[in-house]
Amino acid sequence: MNNSIYNFKSPDNEPVLNYFEGSPERIALEAELERQSNQIIEIPLIIGGKKIFTGNTSDVVMPHNHSHVLAKYHKAGEKEIAMAIEEARKAHADWSSQNWTTRASVMLKIAELITVKYRAKLNAATMLGQSKNIYQSEIDAVCETADFLRYNVTFASEIYKTQPLSSFNQLNRMEYRALEGFVLAVSPFNFTSIASNLNMSPVMMGNTTIWKPATTAILSNYYLMEIFMEAGVPAGVVNFLPGSGALIGKIVMESRDMAGIHFTGSNNTFNSLWKGVANNLEKYKSYPRLVGETGGKDFIFVHPSADPKEVAVGAFSGAFEYQGQKCSAASRMYVPESLWSDVKKEMVALSESIKMGDVRDSSNFVNAVIDEASFDNIVSYIEYAKSSKEAEIVFGGTYDKSTGYFISPTMILTSNPHFKSMEEEIFGPVITAFVYKDNDMEKTLELCDTTSPYGLTGAVFGRNRMEVVNVCSRLQYAAGNFYINDKPTGAVVGKQPFGGSRGSGTNDKAGGEFNLIRWVSPRTVKETFIPPTDIRYGYMK
């Protein structure tokens, strides 16, 4: 038995490498991109540590070159889903009773494997499979994934050492049990790091998972799964189950042992999972923990005291990095009349200075959107704006899906603050601006606060300190992550714990102790040293 008390100090964030031409990391990455581009791998299910090939397959393609097949993945049927439930149940007893430092060491080993041995492999898979450029992949697949793992160990140690007070005749303690059952982890396509964390947060706290990865992120997610196993995650602790979300969700949610859902993705999907749980409520051993981070309609509010260039750079990066496919991406902005022409000029110039194309050409700032359904959906918003009397295209508005799913960064200007693209999440490279009269601040703040159902991220730009403070407090429920003079994207683990409320999710702050606490079910144990031998109160004697 290990009787030590470990104290894991706050780690440093994984440094983002430069990838300058000729650097060792660039040479390794280019070789790996070449290797992965020249093979078609087969991706099995992994249940109870075993690879399963169902024969029911689909292709994994490059979004920026959709005739190029990277892999074939096998899909789970009802039989495999039942097997995964059984394996996750079986593995629970052993994993949850391990000394937590054993689990911590597995987490730290995964982080090391990702940042050293498999850095190029995971980056190349994320770049090719999810169409991220080098920088966007590096900050996600490598740095954020490692940060989640390392910080979770520190947060777990903080949770475990939180103990109740004791007194003379008693000893009180808190045991942090894993949930009684398994966790369903359902991950989105847009962040490799989120896919890892949706599993590894519950797993760190002693739980087992059934992992439903997003179909369009399967290549990087499969390599993650292989790394988990190499690091020592035992068979059955994570069960990798590609396939239909609706089918997997339906069957898994009927299991008596489903103890929680850890979800990131769209509002609609989370709502359907929540309703599924509600419909099955009588079946469960415990009330399942529901943790979901969902969509956003993230804003930039520009105060008349702002610097137009700073606004333009923040809005451009915030709206168009990774093609706007970040839940935190800026997608609506409120600009005062006095600054509009300068902000517009700067943003048009930026749009003319960047290139779009394949991720393997490092001069491209923008790459492809994830798939055809997404492409068509984004285009429908652009066409709607083109045909509306209430809107005009400031720049962009062009698209082409003949080779890859390319949509040029697009800015819409609208005279209607409730225009469709001001209210709905588009999840693509489109930002809509509404220009307000400088003396209409209060009315515009009210609009910003009430226009969309979401509450994820938002930013204010301005040099007037008191006015910025006013905007920050006036919009307190409009965003769970609020930025002052910065773009609303790019939250870093340990620095800006991430999540929003309203329609944006349960706000359990991924990358923080608030999230980890959802994956334990504490038990309080009180021991009395000299038990009483009489029921009467003292004054009755």
Contact call for residue 249 and ligand NAD (CB under 6 A): yes
Q: Give least dist CB 173 to ligand NAD, A.
A: 34
Contact call for residue 191 and ligand NAD (CB under 6 A): yes
Task: Kindly state the DSSP code that residue 4 receives in the 8-state scheme.
Answer: P
Contact call for residue 327 and ligand NAD (CB under 6 A): yes
Strands 364-366 and 406-407: unpaired
* Tokens 């709206």 sit on residue: 319
Contact call for residue 190 and ligand NAD (CB under 6 A): yes
Q: What's the rounded Cα separation, in Å, for the pair 193 and 118? A: 14
Contact call for residue 293 and ligand NAD (CB under 6 A): yes
Contact call for residue 241 and ligand NAD (CB under 6 A): no
- Torsion angle, alpha carbons of 85, 91, 92, 98, to 10: -160
Q: Give least dist CB 374 to ligand NAD, A.
A: 7
Q: CB within 8 A of 332, min separation 6: which ones?
A: 297, 298, 299, 300, 421, 422, 431, 432, 433, 434, 451, 452
| Amino acid identity at 259 | A
Query: Cβ closer to ligand NAD: 202 or 265?
Result: 265
Q: What's the rounded Cα separation, in Å, for the pair 215 and 187? A: 10
Q: CB within 8 A of 212, min separation 6: which ones?
A: 184, 185, 186, 187, 241, 242, 243, 245, 248, 249
Q: Is 293 labeled as catalytic in the residue annotation?
A: yes
SS3 call for 118: coil
CA nearest neighbour of 264 among 234, 308, 321, 221: 221
Q: Is 327 labeled as catalytic in the residue annotation?
A: yes
Contact call for residue 296 and ligand NAD (CB under 6 A): yes
Query: Cβ closer to ligand NAD: 54 or 305?
Result: 54
Q: Give least dist CB 459 to ligand NAD, A.
A: 16
Binding-site member from 98, 105, 266, 408 for ligand NAD (CB under 6 A): 266
Q: Give least dist CB 231 to ligand NAD, A.
A: 23
Q: CB within 8 A of 506, min separation 6: which ones?
A: 290, 291, 292, 293, 499
Site string for ligand NAD, 479-508 (x = CB under 6 A): -------------------x-----xx---
Options 26-34, 160-168, 268-276, 358-366: segment touching ligand NAD (CB under 6 A) = 268-276
Contact (CB, 8 A) for 501 and 455: yes
Phi, psi of 292 (to 5 degrees): -140, 130
How far, CA to CA in Å, does 62 sit from each of 71, 130, 297? Answer: 10, 7, 27
Binding-site member from 427, 436, 482, 483 for ligand NAD (CB under 6 A): 427
Catalytic residue among 138, 144, 293, 310: 293
Contact (CB, 8 A) for 211 and 240: yes
Number of chain positions touching ligand NAD (CB under 6 A): 30
Q: Give least dist CB 43 to ligand NAD, A.
A: 15
Contact (CB, 8 A) for 133 and 362: yes
Contact call for residue 294 and ligand NAD (CB under 6 A): yes
Contact call for residue 188 and ligand NAD (CB under 6 A): yes
Q: Give least dist CB 497 to ligand NAD, A.
A: 11
Contact call for residue 212 and ligand NAD (CB under 6 A): yes
Catalytic residue among 14, 143, 310, 327: 327
Looking only at residues 439 through 468 of this chain, which bind ligand NAD when binding is defined by CB under 6 A?
456
Which helix (DSSP H) or strand (DSSP E) does residue 264 occupy?
Answer: strand 258-264
Binding-site member from 37, 272, 286, 501 for ligand NAD (CB under 6 A): 272
Contact call for residue 324 and ligand NAD (CB under 6 A): no
CA angle 334, 431, 320 (to 5 degrees): 125
Tokens of 291: 């943790």
Q: What residues line the site for ligand NAD (CB under 6 A)?
A: 186-191, 194, 212, 214-215, 245-246, 249, 264-266, 269, 272-273, 293-296, 327, 425, 427, 456, 498, 504-505
What are the catalytic residues?
Answer: 293, 327
